[in-house]
């Protein structure tokens, strides 16, 4: 049966009406924000649909997960969520050649294959103004009683997902976040302490690590998210204080699409064959 309109995917329903899903580990992607700092591109589409190399950044994130066998996704929709729904509802037609009898739509014949045919994508309306902690809590019924991953819909990385999961399991805590050192946007002036410039250091990495997303959560995290109408970042200190938060340090590539400058940079890397996050072509899946 077809699920109600809040989810634009053919889901598997149990006899009681509950969602059974595929039984695989899920990856939640937060896709509901308005992307106001990237208004040049987000006026008519949500930020996860802003393109790198002709494909939405959301697709790039999902390809990175799928490379490691995680192809069961739950997308938390909000601002202009209908654009994302339309993209996946028409994915088959937009990704393949097809023959159609204009008087008999069910007679559509698709030709060939595409690499995403085994993806299971749940598109869930989580509200226009909902904050990220609440968005995650609202899709708990699609997760089940298994660990799950969460990330933002605007950041790409060459993270070794298998290594991240192994680290999380070794820690025995409810939550793990991935942290990176971000490069400064500006060069640094080096002095001898007496007012004399001795050199310049172009855009060094900052020493402190920042939250890059790519979380792993145990189902017990939902207890911390319940009735929390706030950003996920406000729940993380609570988890840390309870001794339930670990940090996985990623020393490779990471870049978020926060501004128009980031949009240009990511497309420049893609067009120049320097897209380090394109792990799905780097080697065979594990």
Please provide the average confidence, as pLDDT, over all residues in the chain: 85
- Given CATH 3.90.550.10, say whether it is the number of domain 26-179+207-281: yes
Q: Are 30 and 152 in contact (CB under 8 A)?
A: yes
Q: How confident is the model at residue 279 (pLDDT cuts 50, 70, 90)?
A: very high
What are the extents of the domains in the chain? 26-179+207-281
What's the per-residue H, E or C state across 214-250?
Answer: CEEECHHHHHHHCCCCCCHHHHHHHHHHCCCEEEEEC
Q: How confident is the model at residue 115 (pLDDT cuts 50, 70, 90)?
A: confident
Pick from 15-29, 103-117, 236-250, 267-281: least confident = 15-29
The values of phi and psi at residue 226, to 5°, are -65, 135
Per-residue confidence (pLDDT) for residue 205, from 0 to 100: 55
To the nearest 10°, report the CA torsion of 133, 135, 141, 142: -110
| pLDDT, tens only, 91-113 | 888 887 888 888 776 677 888 78
- Is a pLDDT exceeding 50 seen at residue 10? no
The gap from C-alpha 53 to its chain's centroid, in whole angstroms, comes to 17
| pLDDT, tens only, 37-58 | 898 899 999 999 999 999 999 9
At 106, list the tokens: 């069910």
**Counting beta carbons within 10 angstroms of the beta carbon of residue 135, is it exposed (0 to 12), middle (13 to 18) or buried (19 or more)?**
buried
User: Which range among 2-11, 196-205, 206-215, 217-226 has the greatest average pLDDT?
Assistant: 217-226
Q: Are 172 and 218 in contact (CB under 8 A)?
A: no
């Amino acid at each position: 049966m077809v699920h109600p309109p809040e989810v634009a995917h053919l889901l598997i329903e149990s006899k009681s009406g509950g969602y059974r899903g595929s039984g695989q580990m899920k990856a939640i992607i937060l896709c509901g924000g308005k992307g106001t700092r990237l208004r040049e591109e987000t006026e008519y589409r949500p930020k996860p649909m802003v393109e790198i190399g002709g494909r939405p950044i959301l697709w790039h994130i999902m390809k990175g997960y799928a490379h490691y066998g995680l192809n069961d996704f739950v997308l938390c929709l909000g601002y202009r969520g209908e654009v994302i729904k339309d993209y996946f509802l028409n994915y088959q037609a937009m990704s393949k050649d097809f023959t159609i009898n204009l008087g008999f739509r069910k007679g559509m014949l698709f030709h060939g294959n595409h690499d995403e045919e085994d993806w299971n994508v749940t598109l869930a309306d989580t509200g226009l103004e909902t904050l990220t902690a609440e968005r995650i809590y609202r899709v708990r019924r699609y997760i089940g009683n298994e660990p799950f991953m969460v990330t933002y819909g605007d950041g790409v990385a060459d993270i070794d997902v298998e290594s991240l999961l192994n680290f999380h399991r070794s820690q025995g805590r409810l939550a793990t976040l991935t942290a990176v050192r971000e490069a400064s946007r500006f060069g640094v002036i080096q002095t001898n302490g007496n007012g004399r410039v001795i050199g310049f250091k172009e855009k060094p990495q900052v020493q402190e690590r920042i939250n890059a997303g790519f979380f792993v959560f145990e189902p017990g995290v939902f207890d911390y998210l319940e009735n929390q109408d706030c950003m996920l970042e406000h729940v993380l200190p609570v988890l840390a204080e309870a001794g339930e938060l670990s940090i996985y340090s990623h020393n490779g590539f990471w870049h978020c699409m926060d501004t128009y400058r980031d949009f240009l940079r990511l497309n420049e890397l893609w067009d120049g064959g320097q897209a380090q996050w394109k792990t799905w072509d780097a080697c065979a899946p594990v």
